[in-house]
A and B are shown apart, each in its own frame.
Chain A
Amino acid sequence: MGPEYEATADQHHVDDHDHHGAPSGIKRWLFSTNHKDIGTMYLVFSLLMFFVGGAMIMIVRAELFQPGLQFVDPAFFNQMTTMHALVMVFGAIMPAFVGLANWMIPMMVGAPDMALPRMNNWSFWLLPVGFTFLIATLFMPGGAPAAGWTMYPPLVLQTGDAFPFLVFAIHILGASSIMGAINIIVTIMNMRAPTMTLLKMPLFVWTWFITAFLLLAAMPVFAGAVTMLLFDQFFGAHFFNAAGGGDPVMFQHIFWFFGHPEVYIMILPAFGIVSEIIPTFARKPLFGYNSMVYATASIAVLSFIVWAHHMFTVGMPLAGQLFFMFSTMLIAVPTGVKVFNWIATMWRGSMTFETPMLFSLAFVFLFTIGGFSGLMLAITPVDFQYHDTYFVVAHFHYVLVPGSLFGIMAGVYYWLPKWTGHIVDEKLAKMHFWLSAIFVNITFFPQHFLGLAGMPRRIPDYSTQFADFNMMSSLGAFGFGLSQLLFVYIVYQTVKGGKKASSEVWDNPVGLEWTVPSPAPYHTFETAPEVR
């Protein structure tokens, strides 16, 4: 019973439009205020960062290929794991979602552009600036940050010259995210086609709307936490220094108050994407639209009261441990609702399995596996055994790689014809899917066993009993990394040419974006469409 869409007739003419098209040259990109161009820049940037972060983890997996230290010094190893996480989280996953939001949200709500186009430009261009700082730390005396992306003091205060750059980079990236979030909220609130009521919005718009509020609430907290670190380091503030009356555990509380919503920031938009894709290829409306919206909202609210499940071992009072255990288990309920709804959408549908659908199905399968291990981790007394082991590494990579990343891939394959006007080469795309899906499991499934057998995370070398699974995991990682080159080729090929895509691209997809031609003209919906 999803909402129905109908474009007003004047959406279809492009060529005879009196409005200017894209400006040419570098200025088009540098000064762009066009949501589509900015979306493209976000996506290209995130792809670049995906390979930078990927290269770092290749070094890590090469070192872990067998026991003993073959290639790198442990200090450099720690720099690589830390930077891998920072680059993937803040450089690859988050910007990719913002890129998709930029491209799709205005088109999905029938708006001509984002509400605050100049700010949009700025929030993108802050990213390369922030990452220049972050990546430059690799070449500084003392090396890049090496205390993990969680940056716990006092360890993080042992960072060399890189330390202030780390803090500054986070400030910049945080500012970028906050501006992006404001823009998305304002666009959704104020720029929707008048007939598109809130409960007619596509789920991708809904999940991003909720994500944007999470960003607004969480990023300033993070900025505050790193600022306190900065004060401790340079101005003798002792926020986190017990000897000066501070509390090192307080940092962890503040960090995870940001960090847990952050993990939902990285998954909710993916929920939205697969909620768009599954109905299209099941040829059946999304099951339980309203409950999907409510489930997303309750996940978002709950995400602010579960943070300390990341730190059960710090020595909390019993009452605290119980509270965080119960609240964490509770999150399983709305998450389960989402999974059940996706499956109910498929049930008695008429499914076909184009690449976006394959990635979405893999998403549902593998994200759910990550959800199961998450549930296991919620059980505090057992978490003492799992915490800080490879079991956790397996868990969060299951929700982030076949979760968030596959969600992004699904979205890219789904909308790429709309962006480029060309149909994707299905054969190659399917190959990319199968390679990714197989290697992702070879990489991360054995890590569950490693963790249960007792291998701590973030170690550059390990006892010989862990050798076999580590080798398997490394081989999987190399395979996964190489497979992604195919993705780059496919995208490149589709941008360059290929079979012309119709405006609908797929078989009767629902949504305003499919009422405009492919490729989507530079300006769309200058007059609001009608949504029934």
Chain B
Amino acid sequence: MTNSSGIRLAGKITTLLALMTIAPAAVADMVLNLRRGVTDISQTVYELHMLILWVCVVIAIVVFGVMIVSIILHRRSRGAEAADFSHSTKAELIWTIIPVIILVWMAVPAAKTLVVMEDFRDSEMTIKVTGYQWRWHYAYLGTEVDFFSSLARSSNIARQVRSGVDPFSVDNYLLDVDKPMVVPVDTKIRLLITANDVIHSWWMPSFAVKKDAIPGFINEIWFKANETGTYRGQCAELCGRGHGFMPIVVDVLSKQDYAAWIDAKDGGETVAMVDSTTAAEAPAVAEELSGEKLYNISCSACHQVNGQGLPPAFPSLVDSAMVKGPVAKHIDIVMNGRVGTAMIGFSTQLGDAELAAIINYERNAWGLNGGDTVQASDIAAAR
């Protein structure tokens, strides 16, 4: 822990202890409630939430009120004598029927909202969302645009165990991605959600949508954002080691900006699009991050830092014939992955120099002495 974060920690604990003892008023700047969100549905959901919350609060006041009064008045130390009644059909009927009425009254708006949520008619565009361990893939149906969306590099570095990086110094720590989903405002967008390996769940609190991404199944949801902006969410279904590290970011653009964006991406430019980000970052990053660091960030989740994997799910690289064998196959699997397994292709996520550095590291670490050196140009040639 760095010195400054140590001081901040001490400060926080003191504030918290103070908070617990004094007033909840001081908690004002903490987020306490559900957000209203930016779709009609999310507003309705928020109102339903408030409705039921208040219903609960009122019932709580009545029930706990009676209980507290009883605790205060009907105690032996005040000389209370015990009555001996033990039932009352009237009372029992009342407290059975009133709750039923309240429940029916709440069920009606809830059911109505549900019906609207399930109405997929008239959606104007469709994006296919696929969950991977541990990133999202977005494919804009009817276009050539598709890309992976992974945890932003700054968060990814900071979130390593004892990374030494203070999470408070990272913008949108764990809630930022390299490439967000981009959608137009005021447009009914349908998402087809599935997964490649295990179950994930695509959750965007500001749109009040959450749907499981299930391998072999395609789920549907829709949303229509009323405001432009950047919205953040996370994978909501435990999906393994990296579950906490596959955020979701949606950029809602004006219709014109969106049209410009999709035009720039579409038309066989997928690779160029990816390169434009990686190429810009690559030189600086390559200097900064060795093959070992890159491996630990991108691969160790499955293959482990010591390269021994977690068989049977994730193979050991130390004992891998492929890693010891000809380099071309090794490059191929790292770039293109293997369909139907958790091993996805990394060609769209990492630059040439980075891929080369990782492969070199794998072939020469953990007592392996492959000796060969893959160059960035080898990767470029294989693209």
Contact = CB atoms under 8 A, between A and B. Distances in A.
Interface string B216-248: 110110000000000001111111111111000
A352 B80 CA distance: 10
B241 A74 contact: yes
B315 interface: no
A381 B9 CA distance: 38
B70 interface: yes
Contacts of A364: 67
A387 B96 CA distance: 28
A365 B111 contact: no
Given A70-B162, A350-B76, A382-B48, A449 B32 contact: yes
A351 to B, nearest CB: 5
Interface stretch (A42-50, A97-105, A174-182, A310-318): A310-318
A385 B77 CA distance: 47
Contacts of A348: 70, 74, 80, 82-83, 85
Determine chain B's interface SS by DSSP, over half rule: mixed
A379 B31 contact: no
Contacts of A22: none
A249 B243 contact: no
Contacts of B312: 160
A9 interface: no
Given A372-B60, A388-B201, A462-B174, A349 B83 contact: yes
B125 interface: no
Nearest to B67: A343
A337 to B, nearest CB: 6
Given A288-B92, A336-B99, A381-B45, A350 B75 contact: yes
Given A1-B87, A158-B198, A464-B168, A381 B212 contact: no
Nearest to B115: A318
A392 to B, nearest CB: 10
B377 to A, nearest CB: 36
Contact of B313 (A158, A376, A442, A453): A158
Contacts of A460: 244
Q: Which of the listed residues A71, A243, A467 has the most CB atoms from chain B within 10 Å of its own CB?
A: A467
Given A243-B216, A387-B210, A74 B16 contact: no
Interface residues of B, number: 110
A464 to B, nearest CB: 5
A299 B172 CA distance: 45
Contacts of A67: 167-168, 173-174
Nearest to B29: A468
A290 B87 contact: yes
Given A287-B86, A325-B107, A333-B100, A242 B161 contact: no
Contacts of A217: none
A346 B86 contact: no
Contacts of A1: 86-87
A350 B80 contact: yes
A456 B234 contact: yes
B30 A315 contact: no
A185 B20 CA distance: 47
B236 A249 contact: no
A384 B45 contact: yes
B261 to A, nearest CB: 26
Contact of A351 (B75, B84, B110): B75
A519 interface: no
A67 B1 CA distance: 12
Contacts of A344: 88, 91
Nearest to B50: A382
A452 B32 contact: yes
Interface string B92-111: 10011001100100110011
Nearest to B239: A155
Contacts of A326: 107
B153 to A, nearest CB: 16
Given A314-B214, A449-B31, A379 B96 contact: no
Given A154-B199, A372-B59, A388-B237, A243 B340 contact: yes
A285 B219 CA distance: 54
B175 A461 contact: no
Interface in B296-333: 301, 310-314
18 contacts: A68-B163, A75-B241, A142-B310, A148-B238, A152-B198, A155-B239, A249-B217, A287-B86, A288-B92, A349-B80, A351-B76, A372-B56, A376-B56, A381-B44, A384-B210, A385-B34, A388-B201, A464-B173
Shortest beta-carbon contacts, A-B, top 4: A242-B216, A459-B244, A453-B31, A315-B219
